[in-house]
Copies of this chain bind each other. A is one copy, B any other.
Amino acid sequence: MTQHKTYTPPPGQNWNVLSSQCPSRTSLARIANKWTAMAVVVLDDGPLRFGDIRTALDGISGKVLTDTLRDLERDGMVTRRSYPEVPPRVEYELTPLGRTLQGPLTALCRWAEEHIPEVLAARDAYDDR
């Protein structure tokens, strides 16, 4: 996908997620994602091994975690360091860029936790109509 090679923001203007042609939208799609948010939050505490992330992100499958981490690595938000040991050890760590995501994504996770009673109440009200 090389959209960014054919799109530049209008002169004097900025990138805009609302425009379907703007590459920032694909970036939004990546970060506005449940697993991404949880992974970034969990990596707050420093580098973690694959298995530890898998345990922390309760319920994620190996394949999906692999995909998520690879996407984050490709977009420059995490680094992957693999040690030539047996059994293998692979550590993932947030990059400086990834760390700039922690505020927004932690806020999202907190929102979900803090407002869940209101959300559940709204859902019940909606479903009982």
Q: A residues within 8 Å of B by Cβ?
A: 4, 14-20, 22-25, 27-29, 31-34, 36-38, 41-42, 56-59, 73-77, 97, 100-101, 103-105, 107-109, 111-116, 118-123, 125-127
Q: Is the pair B23, A34 in contact by a Cβ cutoff of 8 Å?
A: no
Asked if A75 and B116 sit within 8 Å, CB to CB, the answer is: no
Chain B residues with CB under 8 Å of A31's CB are 108, 111-112
Contact A113 B15, CB 8 Å, known A32-B34, A104-B108: yes
User: Do the beta carbons of B116 and A111 come within 8 Å of each other?
Assistant: no
For A120, the chain B residues whose CB sits under 8 A away are 4, 23
What is the bound-complex CA distance between A81 and B58, given in angstroms? 39
| C-alpha gap A121/B36 in the complex (Å) | 20
Pick the contact of A122: B75, B115, B127 (CB < 8 A): B75
Residue of B nearest to A1 (CB): B123
Partner of A111, one of B14, B56, B104, B114: B104
Among B76, B103, B115, contact of A118 (Cβ-Cβ < 8 Å): B76
Cβ distance A19 to chain B, nearest Cβ, rounded Å: 5
B74 near A126 (CB under 8 angstroms)? yes
